[in-house]
Structure 1
């Protein structure tokens, strides 16, 4: 699709030990959406991912790399990438995993939806969405976790933990990134909630999520459980603050 009416678009791809996937996924992004730039944010991968990213950037002016010295978590990598993208004047800033689970060929669906939204989420759990090669236990965990998020935080987003997204520049500016402290997988839920709390429009479009076939997944049962614990603490704190504000107004 033509992205001229959306302005300059960049997709931020955080990496940690993705040497087997990075060149493959970047090439797919560039082929699927030739006008979209790529910003790789590498957290000091010991497997040579950063060097591969540098080689890609050297051969393609639409690919850029940020090297971070330590593994600081998914949210921290995205926040760094967002800050650089905003400083560079991009109008649309996206998120995409490096492992191929988010298919670049479906990026056009998100770009189309952004014409009537402030944040677009590529969703596994809306009608038409799907997952490939997931065990039933993992699907149940993700569906259940998202149901819990909706009930706890009072939002309607079906896949608040999803990481395939497009933000308008104005959205990131309005939700005040300097106050975002979540760094792990809770980051995705945090950003969706902040967008809604700011009175902005979130749209979900169905995607096909494909489990990685190369490299090791960063998600585990322990990581998911820890994320739910953090969401619980955060959600309770949010509700308490809202109650206090209501009492003060009363």
Structure 2
């Protein structure tokens, strides 16, 4: 166990706060997750500091509760967008602010309680050891996972790896991951896509095109049911249509980049 892991373990056991990182932060885009967001934020803060929440035009009353939490916690920042703009837009807003304040990396996680916050230190340590890489979560599903989501992502994963010439992307859709801010921000500022459900898969493909290597780490995921406070904004037809259009336009970008991608692959062998 490294010195960072030992420091974290001692902090958790003694209930003393971890020193706030000056380079890595947890970024949680949030849109109408209901009260589950409070537990998500508490769990994230248990394992990391600082934590930022970008409230993406939520109308479920959680803004006031989150702001009240932040009043008692200087390492929790709540950023409120007046209108819903989409997950990618919320992340871009957050990384713009983070970049201006000197942060270099963000770990993104969903606000709906699906992601295992105890894995935050593992992902952050990997990122600190390999700052040029993107640290990607590979979901370990349990019985709560809808089969349509499990099976459908196989298609997305196939396309992501095809369009990167076998780029080693373990999972293209899982939103629990660490991004290096500078290349992601540069990519997003150059085009107006990647603002909604297409953000996660397009981000990893474009980052891989840019030469950012993936590090894949298994992480548990659970889908909360309605009784547990689970909320899903996934729409099968709308979001799959969006993904289809995304991979279609990426395909043409892939064809333009194919010579350099093949050259990189041959060079790495």
- For Structure 1 versus Structure 2, the TM-score category normalised by the shorter chain is 0.7 to 0.9
Kindly indicate whether the alpha-carbon contact (under 8 Å) linking 1:11 and 1:93 is maintained by their aligned counterparts in 2.
yes
- Find out whether 1:38 has 2:76 as its counterpart: no
Q: Taking structure 1 as reference, are residues 245 and 159 closer, same or farther at Cα in structure 2, changes over 3 Å only?
A: closer
- The one of 209, 214, 234 equivalent to 1:219 is 234
- Find out whether 1:16 has 2:39 as its counterpart: no
- Find out whether 1:69 has 2:91 as its counterpart: no
Q: State the Cα distance separating 1:170 from its structure 2 match.
A: 4.5
Kindly indicate whether the alpha-carbon contact (under 8 Å) linking 2:24 and 2:124 is maintained by their aligned counterparts in 1.
no
Kindly indicate whether the alpha-carbon contact (under 8 Å) linking 2:54 and 2:94 is maintained by their aligned counterparts in 1.
yes
What is the number of equivalent residue pairs in this alignment? 239
Kindly indicate whether the alpha-carbon contact (under 8 Å) linking 2:33 and 2:111 is maintained by their aligned counterparts in 1.
yes
- Find out whether 1:87 has 2:100 as its counterpart: yes
Task: Report the Cα distance in structure 1 between the residues aligned to 2:58 and 2:182, rounded to whole angstroms.
Answer: 32
Kindly indicate whether the alpha-carbon contact (under 8 Å) linking 1:12 and 1:40 is maintained by their aligned counterparts in 2.
yes
**Unaligned runs of at least 5 residues, structure 2:** 9-18, 262-269
Kindly indicate whether the alpha-carbon contact (under 8 Å) linking 1:25 and 1:100 is maintained by their aligned counterparts in 2.
yes
Kindly indicate whether the alpha-carbon contact (under 8 Å) linking 1:120 and 1:205 is maintained by their aligned counterparts in 2.
yes
TM-score (norm 1): 0.85
- 1:84-125 per-position Cα deviation (integer Å, ceiling 9, x unaligned): 11111123211010011111111122123211252101112x
SS at match of 2:178: strand
Task: Report the Cα distance in structure 1 between the residues aligned to 2:202 and 2:69, rounded to whole angstroms.
Answer: 32
Deviates more, 1:81-90 or 1:153-162: 153-162
- The one of 55, 80, 91 equivalent to 1:78 is 91
- 1:53-76 per-position Cα deviation (integer Å, ceiling 9, x unaligned): 211111100111111111111100
SS at match of 1:12: strand
TM-score (norm 2): 0.80
Q: Taking structure 1 as reference, are residues 133 and 13 closer, same or farther at Cα in structure 2, changes over 3 Å only?
A: same
- The one of 116, 133, 138 equivalent to 2:144 is 133
- Find out whether 1:209 has 2:224 as its counterpart: no
SS at match of 1:217: coil
- Which residue number corresponds to residue 165 of structure 1? 177
- Which residue number corresponds to residue 149 of structure 1? 160
Q: Taking structure 1 as reference, are residues 66 and 116 closer, same or farther at Cα in structure 2, changes over 3 Å only?
A: same
- Which residue number corresponds to residue 130 of structure 2? 116
SS at match of 2:234: coil
Task: Report the Cα distance in structure 2 between the residues aligned to 1:142 and 1:234, rounded to whole angstroms.
Answer: 18
Task: Report the Cα distance in structure 2 between the residues aligned to 1:227 and 1:91, rounded to whole angstroms.
Answer: 30
Task: Report the Cα distance in structure 1 between the residues aligned to 2:206 and 2:254, rounded to whole angstroms.
Answer: 14
Task: Report the Cα distance in structure 2 between the residues aligned to 1:144 and 1:38, rounded to whole angstroms.
Answer: 33
Task: Report the Cα distance in structure 2 between the residues aligned to 1:132 and 1:108, rounded to whole angstroms.
Answer: 26
SS at match of 2:179: strand
- Which residue number corresponds to residue 177 of structure 1? 188
- The one of 97, 100, 125 equivalent to 2:113 is 100
Q: Taking structure 1 as reference, are residues 75 and 101 closer, same or farther at Cα in structure 2, changes over 3 Å only?
A: same
